[in-house]
Structure 1
């Protein structure tokens, strides 16, 4: 079973694996950038495996799992949300969410606070290709990679060059300098106008 097939099987029926993500998974798997955790769950990296844990590598590990919430988890959350990646050292996640209009959104959980990143899979992949130290912990969408590294006190970045080249050549798009170059927005923690936050506030246990 390919990694993309594994992700498809792990998603609830209401969600789907976008073709753009499947293409990235197939590329990385063909490059040998996949392995399994000690308990046997498969994962995939945007780097060669000998680079993914190096200081300065972007913290991004693709692997499907359940919602990152305290139990009990309402069935509506399990039916409409799934994690596809860990994207920060403190457990920040990227996932898919079916919003109230029936649109599949790509969302981020930062310190337990969710927000909608985009409904465009290619834009989400362009965002990841920048190489931010912890994509799910980015606080300012206008940060250059250098500025994010300085702000977080991270090691000098290891740019995911091969991933960037694949994104550019396969999808015919540029690697942006900033998240905001894609028209993407990161809300403040107290901003409850985000639709994912409103939904979570409505359906999760108080």
Structure 2
């Protein structure tokens, strides 16, 4: 296992299991040398790619001091320059979910995502900052040629053909109106958990 994949799980509590899709994403970034200062990227960091997605965080060891229950949330990758992220979360039944954790100061999407594979599909659409779910109903304004290597890997490894929009990539066409609202779907269990008194120390 290469260093970026190790970065995803270093210090991670044993009751989490990092999805293979994310581990292999980190390994791919290392293999094509899309890594700088401990962060993986979807594009060559030496070129002018538009993607702001960052895989892993060498400084992040959990959510201690931010959430009272850090053992229920684990960072995976950043989805925007505002600090939004994709994380693993243990729900109230002890089941691991993949979630989007908005920054609160930018994106306010706090919601359970369909799966890790769906996250890879979303990233392949080409939004520079996929944290902005309001954009998911439309294709990105400009295509990013820097994503060619990532999209090729998605096709070869996961049989992913890039979708035109985020809602299609995530399989959410039937509920697109809920997911493309700024605040995301109402009644989401992850969002409700964060709203419980005592869960969030500071947002």
TM range (shorter): 0.7 to 0.9
Instruction: Provide the C-alpha distance between the structure 1 equivalents of 2:42 and 2:62, rounded to a whole number of angstroms.
Output: 23
Distance 1:139 1:195 in 2: 20
> Following the alignment from structure 2 to structure 1, what is the Cα–Cα distance between the partners of residues 138 and 89?
26
- Counterparts of 1:15-94 in structure 2, within 5 Å, are 15-36=16-37, 42-51=38-47, 54=48, 57-64=50-57, 65-66=60-61, 71=65, 73-74=67-68, 76=69, 78-94=70-86
- Residue 44 of structure 1 and its aligned partner are, at CA, apart by 0.8
> Is 1:173 the counterpart of 2:169 in the alignment?
no
**1:11 Cα shift?**
2.1
Q: Which runs of 5+ in 2 are unaligned?
A: 173-178
- Corresponding residue pairs, total: 187
Question: Which deviates further from its counterpart, 2-11 or 183-192?
Answer: 183-192
Q: 1:173 to 1:193 in 2, by over 3 A?
A: same
Spell out, residue by residue over 1:75-128, the C-alpha distance to the aligned partner (whole angstroms, 9 max, x if none). x2x101122222212222221112223332222223323422424111111101
Query: What do you get for the CA RMSD once the two structures are aligned?
Result: 2.5
When residues 84 and 2 of structure 1 are mapped into structure 2, their CA distance, relative to the original with a 3 A threshold, is same
The SS at the match of 2:89 is strand
Q: Which runs of 5+ in 1 are unaligned?
A: 37-41, 150-155
